[in-house]
Amino acid sequence: MRIATWNVNSLKARLERVTAWLERARPDVLMLQETKLTDADGPVDVFRGAGYELAHHGQGQWNGVAIVSRVGIADVVTNFGQPLRSAGAEEAGDDEPLAEARMIAASCGGIRVVCVYAPNGRTVDSVFYTAKLTWFDRLSRWLAAAASSSEPVVLGGDLNVAPADIDVWDPVACHGGTHVSEPERKAFARLLEWGFVDIYRQQHPEPERYTWWDYRAGNFHKNYGMRIDHLLVSPPVAARVVWTEIDRETRKGKPTPSDHTPLVIDLDERGLHFDAGWASAEGRIAARRR
């Protein structure tokens, strides 16, 4: 069984890329973030034509999460089981996380899959940053009430946290900003205390493996990025994981890709082979940095 997560930065803009990646990687379950669609606009027919079901939780031009599965979708929960609150402002500004479509869960192939898109936080000590920590607290409380680490659970998505200095290209440059602050990292650590395993880091202790790169300044080609997209797995799932990878190749090419790239895990046996591109990129990265 192959499970993946990907912040696509607009499903409408990247739909062709997403369907091509389904063919390239053949995931059984794909979690999507930043779909930027209403539920009515979710491309159900496109995914059905590719052999997948779609469960979508969106609100229009901001946020939005989805689960795409070819092993079934059941018992769907959105927004921690509560209706979205009415936003106080017309624009979704990352400061009202319970009025924003950021969480969807479903049972797929015997695994409880939780897809999340954490608020960005923007700047430390801002109202957006406070809202981010509030949202993480809500996630932790929901997990404590609705799930058990003794069951097969995968929490995946764009958590907008780099949990350690190894997860950013330059800790000195990044410290003092969001994604790396101590309160954010403590919020991430609470998920591990619940029982989750950071399975990618467990299998990949090497540095300079990221899931997000800024579009500007050639940062992708110099590999100046962050590992902020995660697949956290409960112990019963961790015992089944045989392979993990970040698909660097998907961050390349035309039309313009998302600024994130997919993260993949395989359970029980390896899925369809694809070249994630890290080995072939090492020499080019070093030359561009020079």
Structure tokens at 268: 């029980």
Number of domains the chain contains: 1
The answer on pLDDT for 173 being more than 70 is yes
CA distances from 80 to 33, 147, 282 (A): 16, 12, 41
Domain that residue 43 falls in: 2-289
Question: pLDDT tens across 74-112, in order?
Answer: 999 999 999 988 766 555 556 688 899 999 999 999 999
Between CA 40 and CA 257 the distance in angstroms is 24
**Residue written as tokens 């082979």?**
273
Please report, rounded to a whole number, the percentage of residues in the chain having pLDDT higher than 90: 87
Rg (CA), the chain: 18
Residue 283 confidence class, pLDDT cut points 50, 70, 90? confident
pLDDT of residue 89: 56
Between CA 27 and CA 67 the distance in angstroms is 12
The answer on pLDDT for 50 being more than 80 is yes
CA 214, chain centre distance (Å): 16
CA distances from 29 to 5, 79, 103, 173 (A): 8, 20, 16, 36
CATH of the domain at 139: 3.60.10.10
- Round the average pLDDT of the chain to a whole number and report it: 94
Q: What is the DSSP string of the chain?
A: -EEEEEE-S-HHHHHHHHHHHHHHH--SEEEEE-----GGGS-HHHHHHTT-EEEEE--SSS--EEEEESS--EEEEEGGGSPPPPPSSSS--SS-GGGS--EEEEEETTEEEEEEE-----STTSHHHHHHHHHHHHHHHHHHHH--TTS-EEEEEE-----SGGGBS-HHHHTTSTTSSHHHHHHHHHHHHHT-EEHHHHH---S---SEE-SGGGTTTTT-EE--EEEEE-HHHHTTEEEEEE-GGGGSSSSPPPSB--EEEEESS--S----SHHHHHHHHHHHH-
Structure tokens at 3: 């499970």
When pLDDT is averaged across residues 157-176 and rounded to a whole number, the result is 95
Cβ–Cβ < 8 Å for 110, 152: yes
Q: For residue 75, which amino acid is it?
A: D
